[in-house]
Structure 1
């Protein structure tokens, strides 16, 4: 019987899940010490970072039982492999792997606040506000993880946030085939599944390809979902709201507040 099987009896509570996580971390990174914070439902890492468990707990519980081990191991391997990862010294070397990510402003600010609570007052993540509730930031897209780009990273490369965002936006435009499903001929829902569907909210040329009634209205309920319809389409708006409500219950939630595109904003 494996360690995951041992803990799997009965409902998967947060307490059981934490024991599974800590056991796996001890196997993956035996030389490091990880401390669990029950109040914040996170694990402190030896590099003064932390592992938030909320999203991966949801993903683990929603996964089929025969897939749970792989889901968790993949997540934890990413955490261990990036805990001391060094970025390239030159912007030209990281330029091709920069990508934009869309998150709720609340999420980003809460991460920064947690860092300050842990004594890291210097952490600053540059962001571009979208609407009033979303923000665009940048990540270094690794083969199996994302590494957030901070202000000190940009300063070390001597590039502005604007320059880095333009590079990241271009990279996103060049990423393979983008898949969208058309629902009732009035709603367009992303189906690419590459962790950057929500980020495509900023690709206005892509959104303008869709035929809608009125202005473009979009939502990013979670990281893997972008839905678009028209402001004058009552059925489309109702369907968008239903899709967003269902999608927001999935892991990696962002926001169910809609955005309306007027001109280039």
Structure 2
């Protein structure tokens, strides 16, 4: 099982690049330098591997995921500036598209950690703003749920006014967004051995969001030893094991906390245990 999980992880974190090409970090910095020249972008922060968060002059934010842009660059490195400019233009268009496509059916849940919320709070304070530009709610002491309009190149988090304009009650958002996500993905699968170590696999983007799909988290689905424990190191990775399965826990922790594993679109390396139909920080 360890070989299966490690192989799966390596799919996310390993690549071989020509020495003459920019590595992922340098490419991301080049993108940040270019995007901050745009008048509508007030700041751009690198949030993770090939992940950049922009703050706009109007107060909104969006996140650009540069995986596809970087792959295009590796295919045609001589077109570096052209590729970056094309993706920046697409981001600008999609930001407008997100506003045009604000609809109840397009709301999706996104899981972030407290570090992300604190970072955005600091940015807003530095800019003289008193409140965060989007609506969020706590899942527990570590994790938060944000609600977003998804576009091909970015995820635009929804401010309270957009939610109010749709006449959606805030207490309805969780069920509504989860229903939208279930309708949007082609399949939800459990890979590995559900009784020891397994992974939740959906669309490669919203796996972490399935933490709020309560019907999934039963001992019938995951007949592990003890209570269900999950780790969500990345937005597209949920690893599941049992609180009393010592060997499996050590295997999972070894993967999640391995400093060589640079998780794309990181969430947190903290584990969570299922107690009374809620996720609580796991102390082991």
Q: Shorter-chain-normalised TM-score: which range?
A: 0.7 to 0.9
Partner of 1:263: 276
Assess, with a 3 A threshold, how the Cα gap between structure 1 residues 104 and 78 changes in structure 2: closer, same or farther.
Answer: farther
Tell me the distance in 2 between the aligned counterparts of 1:39 and 1:145. Answer: 14
- Whole-Å Cα distance in 1 between the matches of residues 128 and 206 of structure 2? 31
Q: Which residue of 2 aligns with 1:212?
A: 224
Structure 1 residue ranges without an equivalent (≥5): 1-7
In the alignment, structure 2 segments of 5+ residues that lack a partner are 1-18, 279-284
Which residue of 1 is the match for residue 151 of structure 2?
142
**Aligned-partner SS, 1:173:** helix
How far the C-alpha of 1:145 sits from its partner, in A, is 2.8
Partner of 1:186: 196
Quote the residue 2:103 is aligned against.
94
User: 1:79 pairs with 71, 82, 91, which one?
Assistant: 91
Q: Report which of the two has the higher share of strand.
A: 2
Task: Tell me the equivalent position of 2:235.
Answer: 223
| Correspondence for 1:198 among 192, 201, 208 | 208
Distance 1:22-1:188 versus aligned 2 partners, 3 A rule: same
Structure 2 contact 149–156 (Cα < 8 Å) conserved:
yes
**Are 2:113 and 1:109 aligned?**
no
What is the TM-score when the length of structure 1 is the normalising length?
0.73
Contact 2:195 2:225 in 1 (8 A): no
Query: d(CA) in 2 for partners of 1:128 and 1:33?
Result: 28
The whole-number CA distance in structure 1 between the counterparts of 2:225 and 2:149 is: 37
Which residue in the other structure is 2:249 paired with?
Answer: 237
Q: TM-score, normalised by structure 2?
A: 0.69
Give SS of 2:270's match.
Answer: coil
CA RMSD, 1 decimal: 4.0
8 Å contact kept, 2:95–2:156? no
Q: Can you list the C-alpha shifts for 1:150-171, whole angstroms capped at 9, x where unaligned?
A: 1222222332211122100112
> 3-state DSSP class of the match of 1:162?
helix
- With over 3 angstroms needed to count, the CA separation of the structure-2 counterparts of 1:146 and 1:239, relative to structure 1, is same
